[in-house]
Every structure is written in C-alpha cells, then in structure tokens.
C-alpha cells in the first residue's frame, strides 16, 4: 500500500486524478477502523494532514468557510460561539482522542447515516465544497448524501470545505445513545431557527441523514416569528409528529425502530423549545 | 503450621498501608509489557480459523490453498492434535480444534503459522471448510425439559443443583413472585488474549501467556499435546485484566502446537472482535422466584428455579450453578428453601467465570423480590432487608452455619445513614444529566429514584475442592541490606497481588526490600486468581512461608547472639529482645546465611453438596457488600444518569486500603454496566455486537464518584482476618441501580441490562 503525502491542495488533486483508487485519510478515525477490520484494502492512502489550506477556517459575509481538515477539538474551541449547533454535534463525537483527530471532512467522506455533524449541516443549510483538477463545485448538503455510507464525491474529487452561516438565532443538536459519552447515535436531531429560515434534520433514522421538509415548512409557516412568544404544547407536539413521520428507521443492535421514532419526537419537541427560546432572546436583543 | 508469634503490624509499607504498586508507574506510562507485546527473534504469527455457524456438521476441510501461500509454515487441524483433543475446566468436553461438528459461532477449526500476521490471516481465509448447517439449540428451559437435539453425550443439562431446606410445603400470608432475566455480560478486559510459545531443545515448549491460573492451563495443555508435565513450562505474561475471562484456554494449546510443529517461536494475539469469540462470558439466566412472608415482611420461604445458559461447552457451568443455587436466597435468614438450578448446554457462546460467578444472576432476582416484598407489606425496602438480614450464626439454605462476621444489618444501616446527593438545582451541567453532552434534556422528564441492594458471595473455592496455594520466601543479605524474595505461581491480573505479597513479607520479616520473582510453573500451583481468593490463599501461603523463615531466623539469631529464642523478634531490619531492646542489625545476623522456605497452604476444608438436598458446608468464607444507587431517569427518553452509587463493604482487614477502594469502585462499575448497558446480544447463537462500538461499557460520565465505607470485622479463620474483596461489590451494584430506576419510573423492570426501550415501552 502506498502512502502518499502531498503538501498542497493542487498536488493532492493531481494525485487523486492520477490515482482515483487512493483513499484520502484525514484524522483516520474512520479509515483506520476500516483497515483494521479488513473492510477495505486500498492500493494507496492519500494523507491530507500536511495540506495547510484544509486545516483553516475563515469568515466573511456572515458565513464561515470551514476547512475539511479542521479537527473537532479546534471547531469546538475556535468556533463554538459562531457555530453553536455544529459545536454541539462535535462535542458528542467519540472521546477527546477522537475529537483531536476527527474532522467534519472525514464525517462527510464517511457519510454514515449516524455521523453526528450531518443533521446540523442539513438544518443550517450548509454547502459542501468539492475540488478536483477539473475545478471546484459546491453542493447543498442535502444533495451530498446519496445512500448508506455513500456521497456525491467523484473519484477524482476531494472535500475542501464546508460553508455555513454564522448562527443568528437558535441552533440545537441532540443525540440519543445508550451511554452518556462515546456512543454512536441511536438517532439524532438538529434544528436551526433564524430569520426567514427554519431547518430541521434527522440522523440515524433513515438510510441517509435527512431533512424533514414538512416539519420545516410547518415551522416556517406557523411559528409566531413576528411576535415571538412561548410555544403551546400542541404546537410542539404537531412538530414532533411531523419529524417522527419523516423517519424510516430500522431495528438493529443499537435500538428498535419504534424507539427511534419515539425518541425523535421527544427530541424534536425539546430542541424546538430550546432553539425558539434562543431565537426569542436574540430577537429581543435586536429590538 | 501454627506459629502464633506476633507480627510487626507497624512495618513500613507493610499490611494496612497503600504503597505504590511495583508495576504502577510502568503501566501509567505505557511502558509495561503486556503479553501482546511479547517478541522473539525469528518468531512466527499464529491465526485461528473459526466457525461462522453456531451449529454445523463439518463435511470436509481443505487446507491446500492455505498451505500453498508463501510465508505459511503450518496449517493444522484436529488430526494434528497429538494428545487428547478435549479440554475443559470441569469436564474435558471442548475440542482443541473441531472434529466433525462445531457447536458455537467462533469455535476454532484450524490454526495457521506464518511469517507475518497478515499472511497468517490470509491463509486462514483460504482454508475451505464444508459445513452442513444445523438448527441451533438456544433455549435453556427447553434443554431442561429434554427437548431438542443432544449437543453432548448425556444430554444438555450440565448440572442440576437442588436445595431442599426446612419444610417444603409451607404457605405464607404474603406471596410475591417474579420472573427475571439477566443478559450475557462480557468481562471486557482490555488486553486481548495473547501469548508466545517457544519450542525448547528438550522437545518441550515454554509458553508465555496472559492467564489466571498457570497450573490448570499446564494440566490441560499437556493432555492435549501428549507431553509429560515437565515438558510444558508456563510463565505469566503481562495481563491486561481478566475478571474470569482468562480461566479457560484460548491461545494456549494452539500456540504450543504451532511452535512444536514448526520448531519456531509462535506468537498469537486476538484482535478485539476475535476476543469476543475467544473467551467465555457471564451466563445469561432466567430465574423464577416466589417469596412467602408474614405480614410483617419476615420471610417464611423462598422457592426458585434458575436456568443458566452455559453455551456450547461446560467450562465452569457446574460451579457457577452451585453458587447461584447455594447463594440463591441472598444474605437473608430463610427457614424454608426450595431451589432448583440448572446449568445447560446450548449453541450460544460458551459461558463460564465472570466476577460474581453465579451470585450476580441470583442477586438481581432475589433483590428485586425483596423490593416487591417490601411493597406488598407496605415496608421501606431497607426495613424489609433488616428484618430478614442474616448474621453470624445464621444457618444458610445449605445447612451451613455462618461462623464469622456477617454484618448485613450494619452494612445497610450505615448505607442508609450516608448523606444523599443534593437535588439538582440551578443551571444544569449537561454532564450531570441523563444523556450527558448529547444534549437530550435540560431537566425535562427527569425523575430521581433511590434503590438499595445487598449481596453475598462465597470467597475461595467451594464444594470440597482441594484449594491450596504454594509460596516460597527467601531471606538473605544482599549488598549490605536484608533482602527477601517471594515466589509464587499466582497470577497478577491487575488486582495488585504483587503489592500485597510484598506488604505481607515486610510485615512478617521487617525487611523493606522484597523482590517478586516471575510467576511461573517452576513452583507449585497457587490456584486461580478468581473467587476473590488470592489475598486469602496466596497471601496466606506467603505469610506461612514468611513465618517459617522468621522462625528459622530467630533460631539462628538466638544461637549467634547467645540469647533465649523466646525473647527474640525481628522488625525494622533489627533483631530485638523483649527485655534488652535492639540486639543487632538483621543484616549482620544474616551474614552469609540464607533462609529459604516453600509452603503449601490450605484453607479449612469444605464439603460437597448432597446431590439430592444441596446440604453441606460447601463454602469457606462469605463476603458482603451493600449499595445505594441514586439514579436520574429521563422518563420520556429512557436515558439514565447514575448520580450516586454508594457502598459499604466488610473486608475483614484491608491489607491495602487503596487497592480495596479500587476493587470496590471497579466492581461497582462492572455492576453498573450490567444494570444499564452491557450485553452480548445473540440471535440464533450469533453474536450481534462483537466490538466496543456496540458492546458498551461505562465511561467516566456514566459512573459517578463513589462514597465508600469499609468495615474491618476480622474473620478469625482467615489470614489477618481478611475477607476477599473483589467480587461482592459487583453483585449488589446491579440490583441497587435497577431498584432506583424502578423507584423513579414505577416500572417492573425484570430484565438487565435495562434498555431505553424498556423504559419507554417501545
Ligand atoms: C472510537 C470512535 C468513536 C467515534 N465516535 C463517533 C461519533 O460519536 N460520532 C460520529 O459522527 N463519528 C464518530 N466516529 C467516526 C469518526 O470519528 C468521524 O466520522 C470523523 O468525523 C471522521 O473524521 P476523520 O478526519 O478521522 O476521517 P478519516 O477516517 O480520515 O476519513 C473518513 C472518510 O472520509 C474520507 N475523507 C476524509 N477527508 C476527506 C476529504 N477531505 N475529501 C474526501 N474524502 C475525505 C476518507 O477517505 C474516509 O472515507 C468515531 C470513530 C471512532 C474510532
């Protein structure tokens, strides 16, 4: 197995064009597991950790451009204030060791339905930036996930960054696991509320992470945006029903389908309450 | 030996103190060599082909493609086993390599040695085994009913243990019944099975291996290899945890076979997934209980039927069943008892020893019953336990009268008096809530419950087993200092035995410098590092050997110093006269002399159980612990946070107080795991979660800091009065936590681990 170590993005893209079989490796927290379990035996590994450009983030026009190789630990420490939803998701990933290595780019590359950043990226309306020797393109997150552990990357492409708006309202992420840390999501939920935008998405409850369009529309249409007041229980329950209805979970060793559906409803209710409280607070602060 | 000379209980770093472990710094720094780090010039790597099926006939094995792979030195099957192709701790029923049938998923079928681990794995994949897949047997109760195919000659019941005590047909005013289930727990030790076998010039083999009992391994290996005992020598490798999971053989015979066959050293290391197939687990159990009491909650009778699924091979199923039955009513005084416990064969993964060993399964059921009884009688859960608590002098259901402290009453009273944690208040810290930083609640749906439980465990080997340990102690002057050496075959598995043995010698001989020799089979057996017995047994043997050395030393000193022997003692590196004070430095008295004694030491004999009535003085000592759990339950999501898990335990004498606390914390954590998350899930005999991704064990956010009280009520029959510590805290932890969850939710919860589905009805 070759271990290829480009130091610039151009070099990396050239290598990837020549050797589309080369498997990119960032933090390696998914790749190394696959190698250890003999699930895959690539001809080459393409190490991305020397490419400075991928490990940077920048901010402009209310947007953050987050390099694919920024670790969760840095994301939490450096961007926790401006990307609270993504930071909440990042905090739930693995253990400190895993957060020191793991990256959002790697989460996207793996495209596991249980990946923790996906519901937040979907709910906030993030765009995924891809590059190859042919050029760059960006995709809406919802167009990126194409199947169980499958994504829209072409064989010669790399993920370079994720673009997402700085939080201006309420953002929440919540994840169910049967222990209180270091656990793969049994199911998860993210919600983002800001002026003119209501995003909500589920994880680990369908073949791909998925936006819950009907529930989002319900929020957009029915939330008392102009006179933000506490929400009635009936309102939250309606939202929870719409979220639960969008899930198509399975029974597996981590949990039953019925439990997942039930838990998503509870998470939807609770996170809506918290996100709306934040939104109301920020709306008052602006007034 | 009956020496009664007083010991120097104030010796620096002697018993009762907590000196730094000799291996502690290396372990913390990652420098300790575990058995998976073993290395030998020119060694080969072994790998194992395992059955993918829980039950199948083998129709053929073709090894030619594997043998043809460059780098492969040997591919062996059952026809290459030179001795008896059967081993086992109680019955030799398990093939070293499968013959015409496989009885569990993961059963070894063939082994390979190659010059690279990867080559060995590839060769394994090239072995072609023909299987005729059979319908697996998975139901213990059906096995007892005599249904289904016989997996072994003689049927599918490994052992039936009946207990008939008192009147068998009494009635009572208050009756509570229950059916309980305990899932299959794993020891989840961190260091996978591993070892290195080195062929020797004499045609024998030296095996370095992580195990719990070197001599019982040796005994099984020589039978399989067809070699005399002196040709198979074992040395303990660095052990990364055991908890019972290393009592049975794993790589031992395989590595030796490959080494003898190839004439080269062979190393074997399982990976994590293979480890789940490579060792026995805790018996899953189904238990039916009926408790009868008077209206004041005083027990009139207990009736129980217990089914323990031993899986494909017997392992220690017989002894586990014996424990579950004899300890089946818990630490209570019960006048009339009817118990039937069956340990059975199935095509599930083999089950055997795990911390608590049968007492864990019974405790979940009898403590759940005690809570039910409390409710039925309108009593507080602690009160109902106090009314029935056994004590010294209680006659147990085996007819055995308990002849040392049994402070069940005191444990519970002290536990109840401990302060409860403060209520949640103010801005919640997510880490203190169910779900932790997964951010599932900010307090919504969270209800707190409190639960109590107390348990009993037999310490040391029972039922008439000739339980002994061998120790050698040597005292001499080295480099101008008195120096002691201690040698045993007792396995240090992480519990800290190496520290304790040094402490005992410091106390008995008053020397600071104590060297522990490698643990190997060049000395007699020490018995297993299990049954909470090594401090008692090997501690007892080392003490006895040290006392003999001391007697000889005093004799020698009396002669040299021309003093009356009866007036002399040793301590603090001096020879001391009771009348004249310090007489001489020990090192001078020693001169060139060396005192070297080896002792084989036994605890009081026990009796076997009557096979019809289960009567007999089967156990030598009992250990007791009690827990109070405080649990916050998110009742809508079924997620939990164990807020407090406090414990009171009697240890007779804390030889090393810090190690005692460590055992209580670790044991309690393992009990927490069984209560709320740890289970090997099987379906038709197939393991669904053979990984630490899906076999979850508690993290620091699941296990609360503990409040612990340690009682030291000396057992006059035991060395220093000590009582085995390791197992009791695992036993009561689980039912206390489940009781707390019941208190919070009002649910019946008759199965562990409790899952979110059980709490949310989904
Ligand atoms: C113990 C443990 C616990 C874990 N817990 C969690 C958890 O709680 N939640 C969770 O979501 N995940 C968890 N994971 C999975 C993993 O940590 C995350 O998916 C992480 O985000 C992966 O990032 P990485 O940089 O390590 O990816 P890598 O392993 O380096 O790569 C992952 C995949 O992405 C591809 N890839 C990486 N970077 C790029 C790129 N720039 N362009 C194209 N493809 C790329 C790789 O080829 C590979 O297919 C856990 C893993 C472990 C080992």
Query: Can you give B496-554 as a three-state secondary structure string?
Result: CHHHHHHHHHHHHHCCCEEEECCCECCCCCCCCCCCCCHHHHHHHHHHHHHHHHHHHHH
Eight-state DSSP code of residue B81: -
pLDDT value for A228:
87
Residues A37, A55 contacting (CB under 8 angstroms): no
Using DSSP bridges, classify how beta strands A210-211 and A187-194 pair: parallel, antiparallel or unpaired: unpaired
Contact across the interface for B693 and A179, Cβ inside 8 Å: no
Nearest residue (by CA) to ligand 1, atom 53, is: A29
Indicate whether residue A106 lines ligand 1 (CB < 6 A): yes
pLDDT value for A19:
96
Eight-state DSSP code of residue A263: H
Indicate whether residue A4 lines ligand 1 (CB < 6 A): no
Q: What's the pLDDT tens digit per position in B56-115?
A: 999 999 999 999 999 999 999 999 999 999 999 999 999 999 999 999 999 999 999 999
Instruction: Give yes or no for residue B7 having a pLDDT over 80.
Output: no
pLDDT value for B8:
56
Q: What's the pLDDT tens digit per position in B234-253?
A: 999 999 999 999 999 999 99
Query: ipTM greater than 0.90, yes or no?
Result: yes
pLDDT value for B2:
36
Q: Considering only CB atoms, which chain A residues are within 8 Å of B438? A: 92, 174-177, 180-181, 183
d(C-alpha A98, C-alpha B297), whole Å: 53
Q: What is the mean pLDDT of residues A235-259?
A: 97
Q: Which residue has the higher pLDDT, B577 or B428?
A: B577
Give the 3-state DSSP-derived string for B303-342, with helices as H, strands as E and coil as C: EEEEEEECCCCCCCHHHHHHHHHHCCCCCECCCEEEEEEE
Q: A283: pLDDT confidence band, cut at 50, 70 and 90?
A: confident
Topology of the domain comprising A2-165: 3.30.465
Three-class secondary structure of residue B2 per DSSP? coil
pLDDT value for B178:
98
Q: Which two tokens stand for residue B502?
A: 């040094």
Using DSSP bridges, classify how beta strands A210-211 and B157-165 pair: parallel, antiparallel or unpaired: unpaired
Q: What is the mean pLDDT of residues A86-112?
A: 98
Q: Which two tokens stand for residue B687?
A: 């393991």
d(C-alpha B147, C-alpha B224), whole Å: 33
Q: Using CB atoms, pick whichever of B437, B441, B762 lies closest to residue A256.
A: B762
Q: In CATH, what number does A181-286 get?
A: 3.30.390.50
d(C-alpha A264, C-alpha A268), whole Å: 6
Q: At what angle do helices B317-326 and B359-377 cross, to 10 degrees?
A: 20
Q: B425: pLDDT confidence band, cut at 50, 70 and 90?
A: confident
Q: What is the mean pLDDT of residues B482-509?
A: 97
d(C-alpha B748, C-alpha B368), whole Å: 9
Q: Using CB atoms, pick whichever of B438, B445, B693 lies closest to residue A176.
A: B438
Contact across the interface for B440 and A267, Cβ inside 8 Å: yes
Backbone angles phi, psi at B429, to 5 degrees: -90, 120
Instruction: Give yes or no for residue B4 having a pLDDT over 50.
Output: no
pLDDT value for B282:
98
Contact across the interface for A255 and B756, Cβ inside 8 Å: yes
Residues A273, A193 contacting (CB under 8 angstroms): no
Eight-state DSSP code of residue B437: G
Nearest residue (by CA) to ligand 1, atom 19, is: A107
Residues B731, B363 contacting (CB under 8 angstroms): yes
Sign of CA dihedral B719, B722, B725, B729: positive
Indicate whether residue A121 lines ligand 1 (CB < 6 A): no
Instruction: Give yes or no for residue B6 having a pLDDT over 70.
Output: no
Using DSSP bridges, classify how beta strands B157-165 and B336-344 pair: parallel, antiparallel or unpaired: antiparallel
The Cα of A119 is separated from the nearest Cα of chain B by a number of Å equal to 14
Contact across the interface for A175 and B440, Cβ inside 8 Å: yes
d(C-alpha A86, C-alpha A75), whole Å: 8
Q: What is the mean pLDDT of residues B702-730?
A: 98
Q: Using CB atoms, pick whichever of A95, A174, A262 lies closest to residue B439.
A: A174
Domains identified in chain B and CATH numbers: 24-31+468-602 (3.30.365.10), 35-134+192-239+246-278 (3.90.1170.50), 281-462+608-760 (3.30.365.10)
Three-class secondary structure of residue B260 per DSSP? helix
Q: What percent of chain B has pLDDT over 70?
A: 99
Q: What percent of chain B has pLDDT over 90?
A: 97
d(C-alpha B625, C-alpha B459), whole Å: 13
pLDDT value for A271:
98
Half-sphere exposure of B99 (CA within 13 A, CB side): 8
Eight-state DSSP code of residue B617: -
Indicate whether residue A159 lines ligand 1 (CB < 6 A): yes
d(C-alpha B435, C-alpha B415), whole Å: 28
What is the average pLDDT score of chain B? 96
Hey, is the C-beta of B699 within 8 angstroms of any chain A C-beta?
A: yes
d(C-alpha B184, C-alpha A245), whole Å: 35
d(C-alpha B479, C-alpha B476), whole Å: 10
| Domain ranges within chain A, ordered by starting residue | 2-165, 181-286
Q: What is the mean pLDDT of residues B527-553?
A: 98
Q: What's the pLDDT tens digit per position in B162-220?
A: 999 999 999 999 999 999 999 999 999 999 999 999 999 999 999 999 999 999 999 99
Nearest to residue A277, comparing CAs of A212, A228, A234?
A228
Contact across the interface for B436 and A186, Cβ inside 8 Å: no
> Is pTM, for the whole model, over 0.90?
yes
Nearest residue (by CA) to ligand 1, atom 51, is: A29
How many C-beta neighbours within 10 Å does residue B718 have?
24
d(C-alpha A151, C-alpha A237), whole Å: 33
Q: What's the pLDDT tens digit per position in A197-224?
A: 999 999 999 999 999 999 999 999 999 9
Residue of chain A with shortest Cα separation from B673: A179
pLDDT value for A284:
72
Lowest mean pLDDT among A158-162, A280-284, B486-490: A280-284
Q: Considering only CB atoms, which chain B residues are within 8 Å of A256? A: 757, 762
d(C-alpha B33, C-alpha B389), whole Å: 46
Instruction: Give yes or no for residue B12 having a pLDDT over 90.
Output: no
Lowest mean pLDDT among B199-203, B427-431, B666-670: B427-431
pLDDT value for A38:
85
Q: Which two tokens stand for residue B204?
A: 């024998």
Q: Quick one: which atom of ligand 1 is closest to the CA of A117? A: 11
Nearest to residue B318, comparing CAs of B602, B103, B608?
B608
Cα B305 to Cα B138, B287, B324, B461, B707, distances in angstroms: 18, 6, 10, 24, 35
Q: Considering only CB atoms, which chain B residues are within 8 Å of A39? A: none
Q: Using CB atoms, pick whichever of A178, A255, A263 lies closest to residue B677.
A: A178
Q: Considering only CB atoms, which chain B residues are within 8 Å of A184? A: 693-694
Question: How far apart are the two ends of chain B, measured CA to CA in Å?
Answer: 63
| Largest pairwise CA distance in chain A | 61
d(C-alpha B91, C-alpha B89), whole Å: 6
Indicate whether residue A273 lines ligand 1 (CB < 6 A): no
Q: What is the mean pLDDT of residues B685-714?
A: 97
Interface of B with A in 412-441 (CB under 8 A): 431, 434-441
Q: What is the DSSP string of A69-131?
A: T-BHHHHHHHHTTT-HHHHHHHHHSS-HHHHHH-BHHHHHHHT-TT-SSHHHHHHHT-EEEEE
Interface test with chain B among A93, A176, A180, by most B beta carbons within 10 Å:
A180
Q: What is the DSSP string of A121-168?
A: HHHHT-EEEEEETTEEEEEEHHHHEEETTEES--TT-EEEEEEEEPP-
Indicate whether residue A93 lines ligand 1 (CB < 6 A): yes
H-type alpha helices, B183-298:
214-225, 252-262, 272-278
Q: Considering only CB atoms, which chain B residues are within 8 Å of A30? A: none
């Amino acid at each position: 197995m070759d271990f290829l170590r480009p130091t610039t993005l151009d070099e990396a893209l050239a290598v990837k064009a020549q050797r589309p079989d080369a498997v990119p490796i960032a933090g390696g927290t998914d790749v190394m597991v696959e190698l250890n379990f003999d699930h895959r035996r690539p001809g080459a590994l393409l190490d991305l950790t020397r490419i400075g450009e991928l490990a940077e983030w920048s901010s402009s026009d209310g947007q953050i451009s987050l390099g694919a190789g920024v670790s969760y630990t840095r994301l939490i420490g450096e961007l926790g204030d401006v990307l609270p939803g993504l930071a909440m998701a990042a905090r739930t990933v693995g253990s400190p060791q895993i957060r020191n290595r793991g990256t959002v780019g790697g989460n996207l590359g793996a495209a596991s339905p249980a990946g923790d950043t996906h519901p937040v990226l979907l709910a906030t309306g993030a765009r995924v930036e891809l590059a190859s020797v042919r050029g760059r393109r960006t995709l809406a997150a919802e167009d990126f996930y194409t199947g169980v552990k499958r994504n829209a990357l072409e064989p010669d492409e790399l993920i370079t960054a994720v673009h997402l708006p700085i939080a201006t309202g309420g953002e929440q992420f919540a994840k169910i696991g049967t222990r209180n840390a270091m656990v793969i999501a049994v199911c998860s939920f993210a919600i983002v509320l800001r002026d003119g935008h209501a995003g909500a998405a589920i994880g680990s409850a369908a073949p791909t992470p998925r936006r819950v369009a009907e529930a989002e529309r319900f929020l957009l249409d029915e939330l008392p945006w102009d006179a933000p007041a506490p929400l009635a229980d009936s309102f939250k329950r309606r939202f929870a029903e719409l979220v639960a209805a969008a899930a198509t979970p399975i029974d597996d060793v981590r949990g039953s389908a019925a439990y997942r559906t039930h838990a998503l409803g509870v998470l939807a209710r609770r996170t809506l309450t918290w996100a709306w409280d934040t939104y109301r607070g920020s709306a008052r602060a602006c007034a | 030996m009956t020496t009664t000379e007083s010991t120097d209980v104030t010796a620096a770093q002697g018993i009762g103190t907590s000196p730094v472990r000799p291996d502690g710094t290396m372990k913390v720094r990652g420098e300790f060599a575990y058995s998976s780090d073993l290395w030998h010039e020119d060694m080969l790597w072994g790998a194992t082909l395992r059955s993918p099926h829980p039950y199948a006939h083998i129709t053929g094995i073709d090894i030619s493609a594997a043998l043809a792979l460059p780098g492969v030195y040997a591919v062996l099957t059952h026809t290459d086993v030179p001795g008896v192709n059967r081993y086992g701790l109680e019955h030799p029923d398990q093939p070293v390599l499968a013959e015409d049938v496989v009885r569990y998923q993961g059963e070894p079928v063939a082994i390979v040695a190659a010059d690279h681990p990867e080559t060995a794995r590839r060769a394994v994949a090239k072995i072609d085994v023909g299987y005729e897949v059979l319908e697996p047997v998975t139901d213990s109760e059906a096995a007892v009913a005599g249904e289904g195919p016989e997996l072994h000659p003689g049927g599918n019941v490994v052992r039936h243990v009946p207990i008939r005590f008192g009147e068998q047909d009494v009635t009572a005013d208050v009756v509570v019944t229950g059916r309980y289930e305990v899932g299959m727990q794993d020891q989840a030790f961190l260091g996978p099975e591993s070892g290195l076998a080195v062929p020797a010039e004499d045609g024998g083999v030296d095996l370095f291996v992580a195990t719990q009992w070197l001599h019982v391994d040796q005994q099984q290996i020589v039978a399989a290899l067809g070699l005399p005992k002196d040709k198979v020598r074992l040395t303990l490798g660095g052990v990364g945890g055991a908890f019972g999971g290393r009592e049975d053989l794993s790589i031992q015979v395989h590595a030796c076979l490959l080494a003898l066959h190839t004439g080269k050293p062979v190393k074997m290391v399982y990976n994590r997934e293979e480890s789940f197939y490579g060792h026995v687990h805790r018996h899953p159990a189904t238990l039916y209980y009926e408790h009868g009491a008077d209206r004041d909650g005083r027990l009139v009778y207990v009736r129980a039927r217990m089914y323990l699924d031993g899986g494909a091979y017997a392992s220690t199923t017989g002894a586990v069943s014996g424990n579950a039955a004899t300890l089946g009513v818990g630490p209570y005084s019960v006048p009339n008892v009817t118990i039937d416990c069956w340990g059975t064969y199935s095509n599930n993964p083999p089950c055997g020893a795990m911390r608590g060993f049968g007492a864990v399964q019974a405790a979940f059921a009898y403590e759940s019953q005690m809570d039910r009884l409390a409710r039925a009688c309108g009593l507080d859960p602690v009160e109902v336990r106090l009314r029935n608590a056994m004590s010294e002098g209680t006659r147990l259901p085996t007819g055995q009268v308990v002849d040392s402290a049994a402070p069940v009453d005191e444990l519970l009273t002290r536990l109840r008096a401990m302060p409860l944690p403060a209520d949640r208040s103010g801005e919640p810290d997510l880490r203190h809530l169910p779900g932790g930083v997964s951010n599932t609640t900010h307090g919504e749906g969270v209800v707190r419950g409190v639960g109590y439980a107390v348990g009993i465990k037999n310490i040391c080997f029972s039922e008439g087993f000739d339980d002994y340990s061998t120790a050698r102690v040597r005292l001499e002057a080295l480099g101008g200092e008195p120096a002691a050496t201690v040698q045993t075959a007792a396995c240090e598995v992480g519990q800290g035995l190496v520290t304790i043995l040094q402490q005992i010698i410091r106390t008995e001989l008053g020397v600071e410098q104590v060297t522990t020799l490698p643990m190997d089979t060049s000395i007699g057996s020490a018995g297993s590092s299990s049954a909470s017995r090594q401090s008692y047994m090997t501690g007892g043997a080392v003490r006895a050997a040290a006392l003999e050395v001391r007697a000889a030393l005093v004799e020698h000193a009396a002669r040299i110093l021309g003093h009356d022997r009866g007036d002399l003692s040793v301590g603090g590196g001096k020879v001391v006269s009771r009348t004249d004070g310090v007489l001489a430095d020990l090192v001078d008295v020693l001169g060139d002399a060396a005192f070297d004694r080896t002792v084989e030491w036994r605890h009081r004999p026990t009796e076997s159980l009557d096979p019809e009535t289960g009567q007999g003085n089967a156990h030598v000592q009992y250990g007791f612990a009690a827990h109070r759990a405080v649990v916050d339950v998110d009742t809508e999501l079924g997620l939990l946070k164990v807020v407090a898990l406090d414990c009171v335990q009697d240890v007779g004498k804390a030889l090393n107080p810090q190690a005692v606390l460590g055992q209580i914390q670790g044991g309690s954590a393992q009990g927490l795991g069984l209560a709320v998350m740890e289970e090997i899930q099987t379906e038709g005999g197939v393991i669904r979660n053979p990984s630490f991704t899906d076999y979850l064990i508690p993290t620091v956010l699941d296990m609360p800091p503990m409040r612990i009280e340690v009682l030291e009520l000396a057992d006059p029959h035991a060395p220093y009065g000590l009582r085995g510590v390791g197992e009791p805290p695992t036993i009561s932890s689980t039912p206390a936590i489940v009781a707390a969850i019941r208190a919070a939710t009002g649910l019946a919860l008759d199965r562990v681990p409790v899952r979110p589905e059980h709490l949310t009805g989904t």
